[in-house]
Every structure is written in structure tokens, then in C-alpha cells.
Amino acid sequence: MKIIIVSPPFGENILENKIVSSLDEVKMSEGLPIAPPVLEYLAGLTLKYHPDIEIELIDANREGFKPEEIKTDVVCFTVLTPQSKWVYENADIIRQMGKKVILGGMHVTVLPDEGKEHADSIVIGEAESVWDEVLKDAKNNNLKPFYKGERLSLENLPKPAKGLLKNKYRMGSFFTARGCPFKCTFCCVHKFFGGTVRHRPINEVVEEIVGSPYNSFWNVDDNVWGAGIDRSIELYIELYRELSKSAKGKTWFGSGDLLTIQHKRGDELLRWAKKSGLVYVMVGWETDNERSLDEYNARNKQGKNRRDAIKKIKDHGIDVMLFIMVGGRQDTPDDYKRLLDLCDELDVLPHPMMTTPFPGTDLYDMYKPYLIPEMGWEFYNGNRAVFLHDDPRMSVKNREAALQWLRAEVFTWDRILKRLWSLSFKGFPKTHLTSAIIQLSMGRAFREIRHENPYAK
């Protein structure tokens, strides 16, 4: 039997000009091409149980995908909300050709009945506990409508399969834990992976990184030090030691909270994180609007002094990007300029996204009365205002224009150079080089779609 596993494109050109919606889209395109984690991992999981199965991996972000040319028995897609329209349309064509389609991922886990209208089978939740059964049933042409994965321990997981991707990538990925104790209303990670953090064995994580052909990595953990400060320090020490033995200078980056940095061992954590190769971290600032911070239930992961926490990270030679949401129902027109001033003050790069109430989150339930019905899932991509705001100044058009203004304004040449100059020489040259690549790639994309600020006085 042959299966094809597809990583869908991040989004469609739903505006007049192409929109780059996130760092994910930049890093997977011309700027920082990262091997799609789901492809290599699912391939490794498949080979663990059924080494006789022929596997083809397709990254639809970097190569053409024509469903009518598919030659296989089974096609598997992983689905995030803004990708669902593209997946469903292609899945329908494939099924009309008599092929089987399996869908998995967060979107169809939250909306399995919706996904089942376009697939022969839906994998709900984590795949490890059911993937063997799914493949056996596929071989016997007896797929069940739904498979519900259980949350297992993370020991003895398969290594990502290398050498199956058609394109060349400069960066790989790894994960060290699943689950999140925070219950932010805009996020469903704690619902998908659980509210208790499960750890991968440190030796298995380190062995995977050291033995990987990649020299740079994206840590896809929801929180790179969310597994606990003691455990994180232990991991970083072991990774540093093993990389030192092999003389392999590897680097990595990912996302983290600010609360952990304010722990009494925060400096120790950052020192070992830097030694282990961490050069860049995207931290969840979420919002600078106090009412929005409460609405998002995100205050408990900020700590008492998040400004000092950011300075501490930078002082250790690690650059910082702020993940920020704008345009929420508690936000005001003043928030856009205030966020720009904040980033100028801290000399950090913001990653502003439109507040988006994804299905399955508490925020979706809160915003449901205000959602715009004609805006399908493809608009839930971090660019578009998919809900109404009570303030007439915060119209859909104004919020979208202000977001694009903010994104472009962040990447003026003087701001890029000022941020690079502010970096500690403890991180030279790797941190500086990584930061320059990210800023130049994102800046080029965002400056092309610049809008005037509708709230300029």
C-alpha cells in the first residue's frame, strides 16, 4: 500500500494583494525554509508500525499539488482552521476519484462531523495510540469513520523520517513536551494536549537533535520552558554537553512564556538555554490592553514584571519577538500605536496578529454572537477581523488596515538596524544572523502590503 501525507498551504490569497499572515508562513517560504514537522513525524510513525508501506510526502507550500494527478491508495491531510477550505476542496476531488482520505489535526478534532463530510476517516486528537489501527484498516479497505486518540506517555516515540521530502530545507524541528497548564481563552492547546505537561525523555530529545542532519531547528513546543524550570535546565545542560562532544554547533528557536523567566533560577535557565543553542524566542506578550489581557485569561503567565523579563532574555544574548494580538473586542484605536511605542522602548520585534476566535477555544464561544457569518474558516488566519466590534471606529476595514500599517511600520529600516544594534554581543554572531534573516524576510513581505494608519491623528 502507498500513502501520501500532505502539509497544506498556510493560507489563500483572499485579499487583493498577497498577505503573509505569520512567521510560520515566512519561515516555510523563502526566508527560513523549515521542513514541515507533521510530514517527517507522521512518516516516522508510519514506518515504525508498517515499514512495508510506501510513503510520499508533499509540502503544498513549496510544490504544486494537483489532486487529479494523485497516484496512491490513501491521502492524509493535517488540518488547521484556515487550511480547512483548501483541504476540503482537494479531499472532495480525491474521493471522487475513488481514493481514500484521512484527516487529522486540531480543526477536525474540534469539528469532526464537519471534517467527516469530506473524508473517509477522521483521526481525533493525538495519533500515536491509533495510527497502527488506522493503517491496518486502510490496508484492509475497512476504515472506520472516527478514531479517537488517547494521550499517552511520550517515551520511545519514533524519530522524524529523513530523506523523504522532495525539497531541501535548512531547518528541522523537534518537540520536548505536550500539554499546557495555562488556560488562555484564545488557545485550545490545553484542550488538545491536556492541561498537564507530559515530558519526552531528555536523552531521546538530545539524541534526536544531535543525530539530525539539520543544524538549525524550530522547537514546536507551545512553551519551550513550559515543562518546568528544573527539567528545562536539565535538558539544556544535557543538550549542550552532547553537542560539545560532537563539535556540532546547532541553533534553535521557539516560543516561551515570561513567567518562567522571573523564577529565582531564571538567569540559570537562560544561561544554559543560550549554551544549548537558543538564539531567538517568541514570547506571549498577548496584548498591552489590560481589559483584553483579562478577557484572554493570560495574565497568570505574564508575571509581575514582564518588561524586566524581556530585558533579561536579551541580556543573555537571546533575541526576543513579542507575539501580540490586536483588534479584539476590548481593544481601542490607541492600542496599535501604543504597541509600536512599546516595541521601540524594548527594542524587540513584535509579531502582531488579528485577534482570532478559533473554534474549540473559549474565546470562540465568547465571540460567537459577534462573528460575521459570511467569513468562512479561510478568513481565520490572523489577518482578518472575523467579528464585529462595538466601537464604530473599530470597523472591520479599519482594524485590518491598522494591522497592516503596524506590521509595515515595525519593519522600517531604521527600526531593524536599531534592534540589531541593541543585541547583546553574548549572542554574536549566531543571534545577530538569525535575527537579521527573520527581520529582513518578514520586513520584505509586510512592506509590500503597507496600509495607511486609519487612526492617525
Residues 184 and 288 in one domain: yes
Q: Give the position of cell 549542550.
A: 240
Same-domain status, 123 and 234:
no
The residue range of the domain holding 228 is 171-447
Q: What is the pLDDT of residues 214-237, one digit of tens each?
A: 999 999 999 999 889 999 999 999
pLDDT, position 11: 60
Q: Please indicate, yes or no, whether residues 40 and 180 belong to a single structural domain of this protein.
A: no
Who wins on pLDDT, 16 or 216?
Answer: 216
CATH number at residue 44: 3.40.50.280
Give the residue-averaged pLDDT of 268-272: 98
- For 177, residues 6+ apart whose C-beta sits below 8 A from its C-beta are 154, 197, 198, 199, 200, 221, 226, 227
- Rounded (5°) CA angle 140-141-143: 105
Which pLDDT band holds residue 444 (cuts at 50, 70, 90)? confident
Q: pLDDT tens across 284-334, in order?
A: 999 999 999 999 999 999 999 999 999 999 999 999 999 999 999 999 999
Which residues make Cβ contacts (< 8 Å) with residue 29, sequence separation at least 6? 20, 61, 62
Residue 162 lies in a domain: no
416 and 325 in a single domain? The answer is yes
Does some domain include residue 334?
yes
For residue 21, name the pLDDT band (cuts at 50, 70, 90). Answer: very low
CA 77 – CA 88 distance, rounded (Å):
10
Q: The CATH number of the domain where 420 resides is what?
A: 3.80.30.20
In a domain, 157, yes or no: no
Nearest to 205 by CA among 252, 266, 257, 163: 252
The rounded radius of gyration (Å) of the Cα atoms in the chain is 22
pLDDT at 20 over 50: no
Residue 165 is assigned to a structural domain of this protein? no
* Whether residues 236 and 380 fall in one domain: yes
Do 194 and 318 fall into the same domain?
A: yes
pLDDT greater than 50 at residue 279: yes
Q: Report yes or no on 294 lying in a domain.
A: yes
Cβ 204 vs Cβ 157: under 8 Å: yes
Same-domain status, 136 and 186: no
Residues sharing a CB contact under 8 Å with residue 144, sequence separation 6 or more, in sequence order: 121, 137
In a domain? residue 159: no
